Amino acid sequence: MIKPVWANKIEIGVSATTANPPVWTYAELCEGIEGMTFNSNEQNQQYFFLCGKGFAHNEVTGGAPELQITGRRIKGNTAQDYICGKQFTLGTDRNSSIKVTTAEGKVITCDCSVGDVVSFGGNTLDANQFSCTVRFNGEPVVTDAPAQ
């Protein structure tokens, strides 16, 4: 069965406890969002063994997953306000947590850094643009969807 993109749910951590590890409070990133693209950004080692007769053997040895999010700026939206508030900060001030629930019900949670924040711009008569790139920090925790 084909699932539409809107059936995925994106949440960004907007506040955290001081516990170690922190417990995040999430806000849904939905209103104003028109598109999202997930990139694995995999690192690959390529080996050319004699027995391969000139053809490569590939091993994925690393990854830097990220989620690119685009849409329209909605002031007053908790998730967008949080992200836009980070636009001119650096370092650990950009750190958060992301939680993605896929259309199939799988939940992906990971510490992250928010980058490439765009909080305004566009054509004269357009609503302001919004976009950001959420870069995973470390290995995501993936929880499979409950059995049906």
Checking if the pLDDT of 147 tops 90, the result is: no
pLDDT tens digit string along 16-44? 999 998 999 999 999 999 999 999 999 99
Q: Please state the pTM of the whole predicted model.
A: 0.90
Residue carrying structure tokens 């849409």: 71
Confidence at residue 125, expressed as pLDDT on a 0 to 100 scale: 93
User: At a CB cut-off of 8 Å and minimum separation 6, what does 117 contact?
Assistant: 83, 84, 86, 87, 131, 132
Domain contains 121: yes
Domain extent, residue 89, equals 5-45+59-140
pLDDT band at 146 (very low <50, low <70, confident <90, very high): confident
Residue whose token pair is 């995925």: 8
> Is residue 88 in a domain?
yes
**Domains: count for the chain:** 1
CB within 8 A of 131, min separation 6: which ones? 68, 69, 70, 71, 116, 117, 118
Q: What is the pLDDT of residue 97?
A: 98
Does residue 148 lie in a domain region? no
147 located within any domain: no
Do the domain assignments include residue 54?
A: no
Residue-wise pLDDT tens digits, 118-144: 999 999 999 999 999 999 999 999 999
**CATH code of 38's domain:** 2.40.30
Question: Does residue 87 lie in a domain region?
Answer: yes
Tell whether the model's pLDDT for residue 2 goes beyond 80: yes
Q: Examine residue 134 and state whether it is found in any structural domain, yes or no.
A: yes
pLDDT tens, position by position, 77-118: 999 999 999 999 999 999 999 999 999 999 999 999 999 999
Amino acid at 147: A
- Report if residue 69 sits inside a domain: yes
Of the pLDDT bands very low, low, confident and very high (cuts 50, 70, 90), residue 1 is: confident
